[in-house]
Structure formats: structure tokens, C-alpha cells
Chain A
Amino acid sequence: KAGVTQTPRYLIKTRGQQVTLSCSPISGHRSVSWYQQTPGQGLQFLFEYFSETQRNKGNFPGRFSGRQFSNSRSEMNVSTLELGDSALYLCASSFWQRGSDTQYFGPGTRLTVL
């Protein structure tokens, strides 16, 4: 099976712009979670989608949003970018619909905000 894929791999934006990142889960996986990774804050959970519904949410401002499509692909959007949004954004997919399950990570999108 193909692994989790993310596009684009690298992005450079300026403050105030918005950005959309895409994640394609492993075939058959219906849960997609998003994480932000920075040197200072480490790996932090953003949100999880299952069957096109947000199932869990982390402690990020409303500028961070996401959605999931019927084919389980997911996108996350960050509006009004700030310098502090520079990070590696990772998505992870898993199979089960309830409880906690093994999450497989994509390669990430490296976002740089200037």
C-alpha cells in the first residue's frame, strides 16, 4: 500500500496570507489527524477528521481549520499567517473508527512564513 502523502512539501508565504495543505491517507484509512511540529513546542495536535466530521480538536486559534472529503483526503487551512506559524505540518492516518489506533505519518509540509 502507498503511504500517507502530503502536498506541497515546501511552502514559503508572507505574513497575512493564507495557505492550504493537503493530505492523502493510506487507502482504506478513514481517520486523518493533523499535527504541528516546531523546535520550541514539539509535536502538537491540531485536529482529527473521521468520515468528513471533525472528531477531536487541539488548542489552536480559529485561524487553523480543516476539512475532509468523501474519499478521506483532508486539507488544512491557515488564514492570516503569522511568523509563529512557521513549522512542519504533519498529517497522520489510521484505520479504526473508535478508540485509539496506530497512526501513520506523512512526510510533512514545511511552511515558512516571512
Chain B
Amino acid sequence: GENVEQHPSTLSVQEGDSAVIKCTYSDSASNYFPWYKQELGKRPQLIIDIRSNVGEKKDQRIAVTLNKTAKHFSLHITETQPEDSAVYFCAAPPYGGGNKLTFGTGTQLKVEL
């Protein structure tokens, strides 16, 4: 099955700085990589996703990059704000696994004033 590793487990940045979270996956045939944000006591919410036919995708202050050769993908948040503080999860399905997502262990991001 798919194995997803996520680093770091905690990340503290100053407001306005950038934050980067990295994930590696094991199934070289995986083709879909979503990122979810979960605030305390709330449901995970998709913030961005990327498919294996592209190397980068941006949405305002958020971007995701994918390196298929190295089997890793990263989340980049620029100009961080206090409301970005949350736990972020990466995920990937095994090849042919459809919606069977394997999640990383999460990164607790804290944006300090």
C-alpha cells in the first residue's frame, strides 16, 4: 500500500514569513496529491491539490510543487497570517486506489505575531 511521510511535525513562523511542508510517497504510480487544513475542532478542508501531470499549482498565497522522480510534494504558504495557524495534512492514494487516501501525520503550523 501507499506510505506517506510528512515533515516537519511542527513549524513556527513569524507573520509574513513563508512556510514549507514536505511529503514523500512510496507508490510511484500515485497520481493525485491533496493538501488539507484542519483547524482545532473543525473538519479537514481541502486547500489545494495537484495531479501528476503538472509540476506546480498556485492559488493566491498557497502553492504546491510535485517532483515525481523523487516522489515528493511540498506545500508553500507565503506571507503567512495568524489565521493560517492549523494542522496541515498531505495525502495520496495508491495506484488504482481511487478515493482511498493515505494521509501524512500532519504538521502543526503556528504563525506568531
Contacts and interface: CB of A to CB of B under 8 A. Distances in A.
B91 to A, nearest CB: 8
B98 A99 contact: yes
Contacts of B42: 107
A7 interface: no
Given A43-B89, A100-B32, A102-B34, A48 B45 contact: no
A31 interface: yes
Interface residues of B, number: 23
Contacts, number: 63
Contacts of B36: 105
Query: Is the interface on chain A under 10, 10 to 19, 20 to 34, or 35 or more residues?
Result: 20 to 34
B46 A102 contact: yes
B101 interface: yes
Nearest to A58: B100
B102 A100 contact: no
Given A99-B32, A100-B32, A108 B99 contact: no
A108 B91 CA distance: 19
**Which one of A55, A58, A102, A103 has the greatest number of beta carbons of chain B within 10 Å?**
A103
B106 A48 contact: no
B43 A45 contact: no
Interface of A: 31, 33, 35, 42-45, 48, 55-56, 58, 90, 92, 94, 98-108
Given A43-B91, A105-B44, 18 more contacts: A33-B101, A42-B105, A43-B89, A43-B106, A45-B100, A48-B98, A55-B98, A56-B98, A56-B99, A56-B100, A94-B99, A100-B97, A100-B99, A100-B101, A102-B34, A103-B101, A104-B46, A107-B42
